[in-house]
Structure 1
Amino acid sequence: MLRILALVQGHFGERKTEVWKEKGPKEWVVEVLRLKGPFPLVVEDVNEFLPPEIPLADLVISLGEEAGVLEVVPEVVRRAQAKALLLPVDNRVWVPPGLVKQVERALVREGVAVSSPVPFCSLKESDSSNPFIREFARYFGLPEVELKVEGERIVGGSVMRSAPCGSTYFVVENLRGERIQDAEEKAGLLHHNYPCLATMTIDWQFQDTLMHRAGYFVKESVRRALKGSLKR
C-alpha cells in the first residue's frame, strides 16, 4: 500500500489526484490537502496556512500554484511523517530552483528522499532509490504505451505508465482508427488538446517549453510502441 498526500490549490492539482485515484492501484490511499493562498514568499508561521491535523503519508507530492507553497512543504512532510517528497516542476514560477534546493537541504538531512522532475511526466523509476517514489513512478511519470496494429491502422492499445495528469489514457483511446504514419503527430495534438497544463514559457534549462517537452515524451512513447508492434 502506498499512502500519498497531495498538496493542491486548484484544477492543476485536482485533475492529477483524480487520475491517481481512478487509475492507480486499488490499494493506494490518495489524500488531498487543499491549500488556500495567496502565500507570501517567506512564511513566518506555517500554522496560518496549515490545518491542525495532517494525514499520515509515505509520499508527499506538492502541486501548489505559488512559489510560497514551498515554504510550508517541509513542515507538511514532517507532520505527515513521510519518507519521500515529489516536487514536480511544470512551471518554474511556481517551483523556483532556489526554493527547490532549500527544501531539499532541509529534508534530505532528515532522511527524506526528494525528487524534482522537470516536467512531472519525465519522472522515471530510476530517478530515485526510494521505494515510495519508485512505486509511484511505476504507474505515473514518463509515458509508456502498447499499441495493437492491423494493416495500416491502430485498432487498440493500453497504457503501461501514464503521464501524471492522465493524458496518456486520452491519447491511447483516441488513436484508435488512426493510420500508422499519422499516429505520432496525432498523439502530440491529442496531448495538447487534453489539455497539457505545463507552461508555454521557454525554459532556461532546455531552451524549449515544458509543454513541448511533455508532448515529445508522449510522441516518443507512441513511436516506440509502433516499432515494437510492427516487429511482432
Structure 2
Amino acid sequence: MAKILVVTDGTYGYRVGKTINSFGKKNKFIGIYKINKPNDLIVDEIEFPEELLEKIKDADILLLYTQHPDNTYYLCYEAKKLNKNKELRKFDAICPEEMCLLDENDVEDLINKYPKLKEFLDEFGTPKVKIYIKDNKVENVEVLRSSICGSTLFMAKLMRGMEVNDIEEFAKKSAMLIQRYPCVAGKIKLFRKDCKKQKALNIQKEAILKGLTFI
C-alpha cells in the first residue's frame, strides 16, 4: 500500500485526503502539512520542521502543491536524502500540467520500475469511468480511476439517472458537473487555446465518451 503525504504552501491540496480516504484501497493518506511560502524569489536554503521531516521518512509518495520553486526543490532533496531504502529515494519529480493529466503515458516506463507509483496510478490520475446506459438513461456509474481532487467521484454521483439522447451533448453536460465541485484548475488563459479549467473539463468528457457501455 502506497503511503501518500501532501505538502502545500498555499490553498491547494486539501481535498486529497478526503478523496484517498473515500476511494483508495491501494493507497493510504498519511497527512497534509502546510509550510510557509518564502517572500523572496530565490532562497539559498530552506529549513523544514522536524515533524515534516519525520512524515517524509514515512511516505512513499509526496504530492507537492508548492508554488514557490525553492520549496519544491528542497522538499525533493530532503525526500531523496531521508528515504535511502525506499522508492522515494530513487524518484525524479514528475510534473504534470494538471494532476488529472497524470497517467501511464505521462510517467512512461517509470510505472513498471516503481510499484508504489503503479499503486497510485491504479486509483488516481487521469479519470477512467464506466457509464452503464439502459433505455437511454444512466443506470450506474463505476469510477475506475478518479482525479485526485475528487471531481470524478462528484461527477459520477450526479450522473446517475441522467437522460442520454445525444451522446456528445450528454458527455458535455456531464463533464460540466465538475464546474459545480468546483474544479480548482485555473481560469487564466495566456498563450494557450484553453484555460486549465476548460482542459480539466475536456479530460472528464473524454473519460465519459470512452466509458459508455450500453446494456
The TM-score with structure 2 as length reference comes to: 0.82
Q: Which has the higher contact order (CA 8 A, sep 6+)?
A: 2
RMSD of the alignment, in Å? 2.2
Change over 3 Å in CA distance of 1:6–1:69 after alignment to 2 = same
Partner residue of 1:19? 19
148-157 vs 71-80, which moves further: 71-80
- DSSP-derived class of the 1:13 partner: coil
18-27 vs 142-151, which moves further: 18-27
Partner residue of 2:171? 184
Partner residue of 2:149? 165
Structure 1 residues without counterparts, runs of 5 or longer: 85-109
Q: Distance in 1 between matches of 2:131 and 2:146?
A: 14
Question: Identity of paired residues, percent?
Answer: 24
173, 196, 199: which is aligned to 2:186? Answer: 199
The residue correspondences of 1:64-143 to structure 2 (distance < 5 A) are: 64-81=66-83, 83-84=87-88, 111-128=90-107, 129=110, 130-143=114-127
Deviation at 1:31, TM superposition (A): 2.6
The residue correspondences of 1:28-67 to structure 2 (distance < 5 A) are: 28-47=28-47, 50-53=48-51, 54=53, 55=55, 56=57, 57-67=59-69
- DSSP-derived class of the 1:33 partner: strand
Q: Give aligned pairs, total.
A: 201
209, 212, 225: which is aligned to 2:198? Answer: 212
Q: Distance in 2 between matches of 1:19 and 1:162?
A: 8
- DSSP-derived class of the 1:72 partner: helix
Deviation at 1:45, TM superposition (A): 2.8
Letter in 1 for 2:140: G
Letter in 2 for 1:40: D
Q: Distance in 2 between matches of 1:79 and 1:39?
A: 26
Preserved contact between residue 13 and residue 64 of structure 1 (Cα < 8 Å): no
Preserved contact between residue 188 and residue 215 of structure 1 (Cα < 8 Å): yes
Letter in 1 for 2:8: V
Partner residue of 1:106? none
Change over 3 Å in CA distance of 1:221–1:154 after alignment to 2 = same
- DSSP-derived class of the 2:14 partner: helix
Deviation at 1:52, TM superposition (A): 1.5
